[in-house]
């Protein structure tokens, strides 16, 4: 699928499949145009691995998916051009036989190591194409007991169907609370957004000249940071590349397999560090990422130069929907108005610097991450990148827009995301979910880092080029060990503060 349009073959209203590239007829029912954001991600797939606590009841899952997931607009549509050449979403019939897949794995491999057998199967999906004459999503059900789960469900969906926010909403609509199967799962409260844009409302006239000056100054700083970030964005597209490191994609990685590995970390430990140094959960996770990548880099490279200048950046997707939209979508789904939920890709991007360094105090990774993230919050970089995608497509066409997006990916090192999940255990059509591990297959990146919270855990999920990272489980260990070291340092800081107060 890389660098080519999605196929437009379909069967609509009982008609025979159209030839690829043919425009839609006037008699056919066409949906809304495919957004520029959706067309930017034509090479990307989202994969969600879910561990289930019971064997897969295939008929129940098929029926549930067909009744709920397949009824959403994006999940029963394909992309086709109308008579004016505009790419639109075209409704089509969904056959569950094509979308719910129960593969047969090698019995010897399963008997030898069931965890690796499941992992190998998920990795194989990264090189398998999808039939573009059908809606671009699949559910794979692996009824194989592993060390963490009794069975595994794997959702593979093309990124054009939605971003992480909309897919989380969709998955929530397919689950129910394990404590009360009659209701949707409880979600955490909406996050409070911070930064210069949100932190300084206009002061009242009685506040005085000094406070008003500070308010004006905050917007001058905001404007300056935005100009700098926009300049760096254009420089990245044109010539500014990250330093060549162990994490840089080597050669043509388009058709190399991506392996997905994941592990559960303690959300309580993350929150403990958050409280200890007065930061956010996201700050802690960025700090853990810096620490883990640094530990892996120095161990594998043998480099002892700690003052070396290493440019390593992550593309951080940011949800542009209001912070209350997830809860609003949940309420609409609960009230039977799921069709009113706005799907698609409503995201912007941040070029977030990651730091390869050695610190005697592990908390310095989090402190420096907080400084970096706070700086990025004082900028309109996210809004600009979203608008820029729309403008590039309108002015220069989809090929130019996709080329610019691909250069941004190829000139940076990795992608990083953090997604909030339910705060209580949920059931997927009667199957208790043990863990949720989402990630993205990105051809141009050798490593993608995702965090997913669920109940009292946060799942670290790595999607890596298996040829470049044959020791990816060691890298996964580095993330677990880094959080432990940071948490131990935070415990020591708490004790010292307590003794000083005493």
> In whole angstroms, what is the distance from residue 42 CA to residue 7 CA?
11
The whole-angstrom separation of Cα 136 and Cα 158 is: 6
Q: 423: exposed, middle or buried (C-beta count within 10 Å: 0-12, 13-18, 19+)?
A: middle
Close Cβ partners of 325 (under 8 Å, ≥ 6 residues apart): 165
Q: Output the six-digit token pair for 240.
A: 């500014």
438, β-bridge pairs = 48
Three-class SS state of 483 = helix
Q: Of 311, 309, 293, which is closest to residue 301 (Cα–Cα)?
A: 293
Q: Decide: 46 and 136 in contact? Cβ < 8 Å.
A: no
Q: Please, is 29 exposed, middle or buried when counting C-beta atoms within 10 Å of its C-beta (0-12, 13-18, 19+)?
A: exposed
Helix or strand or coil: residue 182? Answer: coil
The single residue of 159, 386, 411, 431 carrying the catalytic annotation is 159
Which tokens go with 396? 């220069």
Q: Is 244 a catalytic residue?
A: no
Q: CA 194, 493, 359: angle at the middle one, nearest 5?
A: 80
**Both tokens of residue 65?**
């998916």
Q: Which two tokens stand for residue 36?
A: 């520029």
Q: Are 136 and 80 in contact (CB under 8 A)?
A: no
Is the separation of the CB atoms in 166 and 41 below 8 Å? no
Rounded Cα distance between 213 and 233, Å, is 30
Question: What element of type H or E holds 237?
Answer: helix 209-238
Residue 219: CB partners within 8 Å, gap ≥ 6? Answer: 196, 200
Distance between CA atoms of residues 483 and 269, nearest Å? 8
* 311 DSSP 8-state letter: -
CA distance 334 to 320: 23
Token duo for residue 356: 């390869």
Which of 176, 97, 104, 175 shows the shortest CA–CA distance to 134?
97
Q: Apex CA 81: angle with CA 171 and CA 10, to 5°? A: 60
Coil, helix or strand for 281?
helix
User: How many angstroms from the chain centroid is the CA of residue 346?
Assistant: 13
Kindly list the distances between the CA atom of residue 160 and the CA atoms of 240, 246, 399, 436, in Å, as whole numbers in the listed order.
28, 30, 16, 21
Which residues are marked as active site? 159
């Amino acid at each position: 699928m890389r660098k080519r349009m999605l196929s437009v073959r379909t069967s609509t209203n009982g008609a025979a499949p159209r030839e690829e590239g043919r425009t839609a007829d006037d008699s056919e029912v066409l949906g809304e145009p495919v957004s520029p954001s959706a067309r930017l991600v034509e090479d990307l797939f989202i994969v969600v691995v879910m561990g289930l606590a019971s064997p897969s009841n295939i008929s129940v899952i098929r029926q549930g998916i067909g009744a709920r997931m397949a009824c959403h607009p994006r999940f029963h549509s394909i992309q086709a051009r109308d008579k004016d050449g505009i790419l639109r979403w075209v409704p089509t019939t969904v056959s569950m036989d094509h979308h719910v897949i129960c593969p047969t794995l090698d019995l010897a491999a399963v008997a030898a190591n069931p965890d690796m057998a499941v992992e190998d199967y998920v990795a194989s999906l990264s090189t398998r194409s999808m039939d573009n004459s059908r809606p671009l999503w699949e559910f794979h059900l692996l009824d194989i007991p592993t060390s963490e789960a009794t069975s595994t469900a794997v959702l593979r969906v093309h990124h054009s169907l939605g971003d992480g926010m909309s897919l989380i909403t969709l998955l929530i609509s397919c689950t129910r609370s394990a404590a009360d199967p009659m209701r949707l799962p409880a979600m955490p409260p909406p996050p409070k957004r911070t930064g210069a844009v949100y932190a300084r409302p206009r002061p009242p006239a009685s506040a005085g000249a000094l406070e008003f000056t500070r308010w004006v100054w905050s917007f001058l700083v905001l404007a300056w940071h935005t100009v700098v970030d926009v300049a760096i964005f254009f420089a990245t597209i044109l010539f500014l590349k990250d330093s060549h490191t162990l994490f840089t994609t080597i050669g043509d990685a388009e058709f190399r397999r991506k392996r997905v590995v994941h592990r559960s970390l303690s959300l309580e430990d993350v929150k403990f560090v958050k409280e200890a140094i007065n930061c956010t959960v996201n700050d802690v996770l960025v700090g853990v990422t810096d620490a883990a990548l640094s530990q892996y880099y120095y161990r594998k490279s043998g480099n002892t130069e700690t003052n070396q200048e290493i440019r390593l950046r992550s593309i951080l997707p940011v949800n542009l929907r209001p912070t209350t939209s997830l809860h609003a979508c949940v309420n609409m789904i609960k009230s039977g108005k799921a069709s009113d939920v706005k799907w698609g890709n409503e995201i912007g991007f941040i070029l977030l610097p990651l730091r390869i360094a050695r610190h005697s105090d592990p908390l310095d990774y989090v402190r420096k991450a907080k400084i970096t993230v706070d700086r990025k919050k004082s900028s309109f970089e996210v809004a600009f990148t979203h608008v820029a995608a729309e403008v590039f497509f309108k002015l220069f066409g989809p090929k130019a827009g996709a080329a610019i997006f691909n250069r941004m990916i190829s000139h940076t090192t990795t992608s990083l995301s953090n997604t909030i999940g339910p705060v209580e255990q949920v059931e997927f059509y009667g199957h208790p979910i043990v863990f949720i591990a989402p990630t993205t297959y990105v051809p141009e990146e050798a490593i993608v880092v995702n965090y997913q919270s669920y109940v009292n855990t946060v799942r670290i999920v790595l999607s890596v080029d298996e040829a470049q990272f044959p020791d990816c489980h060691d890298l996964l260990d580095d993330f677990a060990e880094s959080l432990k070291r940071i948490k131990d340092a935070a415990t020591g800081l708490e004790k010292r503060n307590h003794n000083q107060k005493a």
